């Protein structure tokens, strides 16, 4: 059975990750089944293990480098997941702003139009404070 490609979203499986670390140590890892972040990590880990086996690094050095490498992998993976999350939020805001634009065109009450326009600008810019501040200004004038 063809296994799925290991990516940051499914690499949180500790058993699978440990199995791949073991394969990296043995030099038998199949990089074609890895995502880009995992390929980056396991290529470097394989090199650390090779250096250790060739007595170019002590066990302590290899262990320290592996720990540092894993921390960097986690940082990169988490930053990428955050970017994905932010991109999803931006896409949702664009959709909502598009709906609001259509609603603004249909609205006849200018006060409601202004409120929707403020919300639309807030969504398009990602600035929620803009909406809150300006809607309070409008409400205080009434």
55 found inside a domain? yes
Report pLDDT for 13: 79
For all residues of the chain together, what is the average pLDDT? 90
Q: Which residue has the tokens 């690499």?
A: 11
Interval 9-67: pLDDT, tens? 555 678 888 999 999 999 999 999 888 999 999 999 999 999 999 999 999 999 999 99
Q: Number of structural domains, the chain? A: 1
Q: Over the range 73-110, which residues count as b (16 or more CB within 10 Å of their CB) and which as e? A: beeebeebeeeeeeeeeeeebeeebeebeeebeebeee
Interval 71-130: pLDDT, tens? 999 899 889 989 999 999 999 999 999 999 999 999 999 999 999 999 999 999 989 899
Between CA 136 and CA 140, with CA 138 as vertex, the angle to 5 degrees is: 65
Cα–Cα distance, 8 to 16 (Å, whole number): 12
68 found inside a domain? yes
Q: pTM, whole model, 2 decimals?
A: 0.69
4 found inside a domain? yes
53 found inside a domain? yes
Residue 76: give the domain boundaries.
Answer: 1-89
Report pLDDT for 1: 36
76 found inside a domain? yes
- CB count within 10 Å of CB 3 equals 8
């Amino acid at each position: 059975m063809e296994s799925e490609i290991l990516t940051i979203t499914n690499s949180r499986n500790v058993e699978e990750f440990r199995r791949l670390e073991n394969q990296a140590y043995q030099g038998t890892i199949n990089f074609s089944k890895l995502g880009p972040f995992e390929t980056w990590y396991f290529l470097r880990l394989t090199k650390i293990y090779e250096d250790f086996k060739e007595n170019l690094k002590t066990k302590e050095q290899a262990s320290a480098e592996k720990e540092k490498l894993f921390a960097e992998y986690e940082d990169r993976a988490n930053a990428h997941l955050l970017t994905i999350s932010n991109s999803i939020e931006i896409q949702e805001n664009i959709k909502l702003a598009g709906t609001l634009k259509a609603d603004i065109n249909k609205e006849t009450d200018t006060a409601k139009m202004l409120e929707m326009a403020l919300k639309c600008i807030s969504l398009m810019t990602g600035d929620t404070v803009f909406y809150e501040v300006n809607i309070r200004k409008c409400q205080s004038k009434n």
